[in-house]
Amino acid sequence: MQEVIVDSQPFRILYVEQDDQRVQAFQQAFQPPIDVINVPDVRAALAHLDGQSPVDLVLYNDSLDSTAFLKSLGTRRNLGSLPVLLLTDRTGIDLTADPFQGHVIDAFSYDYSEDDLRVRLNYLIRKKEYEQKGHISTKSASIRIPVGKRLFDIGLSLLILIMISPILLIVAILVKIDSKGPVFYSSKRVGTGFKIFDMYKFRTMRTDADQLLAGMASQNMYNKVSAEKPADDRCEDCQLAGLVCQQPLFMDNKQVCERLHLREQKAKAMFTKFKEDPRVTRLGKVLRNTSIDELPQLFNILRGDMSFVGNRPLPLYEAEKLTTTGYGRRFAAPAGLTGLWQVTKRGKTKVSDQERIQLDVLYAKSYSFRTDMLILLKTLKAVWQKENV
pLDDT for 84-104, tens place per residue? 999 998 877 777 788 888 788
Distance of CA 384 to the CA centre of its chain: 30
pLDDT tens-digit profile of 112-151?
888 778 877 876 777 777 666 654 444 444 567 889 999 9
pLDDT tens-digit profile of 162-216?
999 999 999 999 999 988 889 998 888 888 887 888 999 999 887 765 555 555 5
Tell me the pLDDT of the chain averaged across its residues: 77
The whole-number pLDDT of residue 253 equals 47
Question: Which superfamily does CATH assign the domain made up of 12-133 to?
Answer: Response regulator (3.40.50.2300)
Low-confidence winner among 234-248, 324-338, 346-360 (lowest mean pLDDT): 234-248
pLDDT of 321 strictly over 80: no
Closest residue by Cα to residue 122 from 185, 34, 219: 34
The whole-number pLDDT of residue 388 equals 44
**Helices marked H in the chain:** 20-30, 42-50, 66-74, 114-133, 147-178, 209-213, 236-241, 258-267, 282-289, 297-303, 316-319, 325-328, 340-345, 353-366, 369-382
Residue 357 CA to residue 327 CA, distance in Å, equals 7
pTM, rounded to two decimals: 0.49
The whole-number pLDDT of residue 121 equals 81
| DSSP 3-state of 93 | coil
Spatial strand order in the sheet of 196-202: 196-202, 184-190, 314-315
CATH 3.40.50.2300 in the chain is located at 12-133
- Are 215 and 282 in contact by the 8 Å Cβ rule? The answer is no
- Are 45 and 3 in contact by the 8 Å Cβ rule? The answer is no
Highest mean predicted confidence (pLDDT) among 52-66, 78-92, 151-165? 151-165
pLDDT of 246 strictly over 60: no
**What are residue 250's DSSP bridge partners?**
255
The whole-number pLDDT of residue 205 equals 84
